[in-house]
Amino acid sequence: MNELRGADIPTAEFIPSLAAVKASDWNRLTGLDYPFLRHEFLLGLEQSHCTTAATGWQPCHLLLHQGDSLVAVLPLYLKSHSYGEYVFDWSWAEAWQRCGLSYYPKLVSAIPFTPATGPRLAVADGLDPVAAWDYALAAIRQFAQQRDLSSWHLLFPEAGVSELLLQRGLPRRLGTQFHWFNEGYRSFDDFLAGFASRKRKNLRRERDRVRQQGLSLRTLRGAQISPEHWHQFHHFYQLTYAKRSGHGGYLTREFFTETAPTLGEQVIMVLAEQGARAVAAALYFRSGDTLYGRYWGCIEEFDCLHFEACYYQGIEYCIAEGLQRFDPGAQGEHKIQRGFRPVATCSSHWIADPQLAAAVSDFTRREQPHNEAYLNEATTLLPFRRGP
């Protein structure tokens, strides 16, 4: 750890709401390109009652100050469960319970309900990022120990950050997602040209099937998405979540109608219609080089419509806009046959109890070869033609 001295040491503050920080101060550090770290997005989750103590996502964001200057920020939540994280640690909670200990509450640094790899600790110019992580870790450990919290978990950080924390003794857990990469494609057909013949025909058959059902799709961006569209989308989202999981989803109507529109041109909606009737929609967010597929909903099932709205329309958008990567969300081996490549994701974990920390470290070491083997095997299933 870097040596900490006198006035150079930032002071830590934990805040119960992002309303305590000016949007301009927060966004000055995070920037506006990565949409999920923006003040508007994270505060909007609070104000739309998605991230609250009642939902098990109590904000306690970490701020680092040097004198009167805000020099680093980290999203941080006090969690009373593990829902909405996409890094599954239920077995760890059971192990704690068998030891007579409580796993919850715990601390989590993540973008709620959003398994998208990206920046987490945002640092001012002039503050060394490695030193900033050391200051943040020290503050988090102290905060957790004062409140008898079991652990802190950093979910979907960039790979370099996870490697840095591994050097600091925090076990790293690997996962796999499936992303699409733009290799300079001129069109969707240009992308398909690299497929093996049979797999190319299968994908075209899926797209034809959507049209055969009388469905058409429109891509709307920013101000083109009307209040009516947002109300429709929330209805689709709730129906789909209820059918899949028995509840109406993590996000409220206010998130879609009030928070999402504040992100302007970073929001894209693909609307599926049958005649004049809207029947489904997919919601995306974007940065300067990446498209993020986030939410989907429909009022009834249509053959292959999910693939079209959530994958193929996203690929077409990336090609048209010159975006380099398409992250469609967590899980989904069916994405491989549609040209999405396996990529490694990671998380980092600090455990307060030394004995349990050793057990988690051993678990992640033993789990890693299996995850690496899975990623390598998945790569062999891609639909592209093999060279000689």
pLDDT digits (tens, 9 = 90+) for 82-108: 999 999 999 999 999 999 999 999 999
The three state secondary structure string of 229-248 is HHHHHHHHHHHHHHHHHCCC
In angstroms, the Cα distances linking 142 to 135, 137, 357 are 11, 9, 16
* Residue 3: pLDDT over 90: no
> How far is residue 290's CA from residue 374's CA, in Å, rounded to a whole number?
25
Which tens digits make up the pLDDT trace of 347-380?
A: 999 999 999 999 999 999 999 999 999 999 999 9
Within-domain flag for 329: no
Distance in angstroms (rounded) separating the CA atoms of residues 54 and 224: 34
**Backbone dihedral region of 223: left (phi > 0), alpha (psi from -120 to 50 degrees) or beta?**
alpha
Residues 171 and 187 occupy one common structural domain: no
Q: What is the Cα–Cα distance from 111 to 115, expressed in whole angstroms?
A: 7
Residues 307 and 349 in one domain: no
Beta strands in 328-387 (DSSP E): 341-351
Q: Residue 119 belongs to what domain range? A: 6-176+343-379
pLDDT of residue 28: 98
**pLDDT reading at 76 higher than 50:** yes
> With contact defined as beta carbons under 8 Å apart, do 215 and 278 qualify?
no
In a domain? residue 328: no
pTM assigned to the model: 0.95
Q: Are residues 19 and 166 in the same domain?
A: yes
Query: Are 287 and 147 contained in the same domain?
Result: no
Across 150-172, average pLDDT: 97
285 within some domain? yes
* 336 lies in some domain: no
Q: Let me know if residue 387 belongs to a domain.
A: no
pLDDT value at residue 387: 56
CATH of the domain at 42: 3.40.630.30
Are 276 and 300 found together in one domain?
yes
Number of domains in the chain: 2
Q: What is the percentage of the chain residues whose pLDDT exceeds 90?
A: 94
In a domain, residue 385? The reply is no
| 144/188 same-domain check | no
Pick the range with the lowest mean pLDDT from 118-132, 231-245, 277-291, 302-316: 231-245
Residues of 182-214 as b/e, b for ≥16 C-beta within 10 angstroms? beebeebeebbeebeeebbeebeebeebbeeee
Q: pLDDT class for 248, splitting at 50, 70, 90?
A: confident
CB 172 within 8 A of CB 364: yes
Residue 121 placed within a domain: yes
Is residue 170 assigned to a domain?
A: yes
Residues with Cβ < 8 Å from 46, sequence gap 6 or more?
Answer: 17, 18, 19, 52, 59
Taking only the tens place, the pLDDT of each residue in 193-217 is: 999 999 999 999 999 999 999 999 9
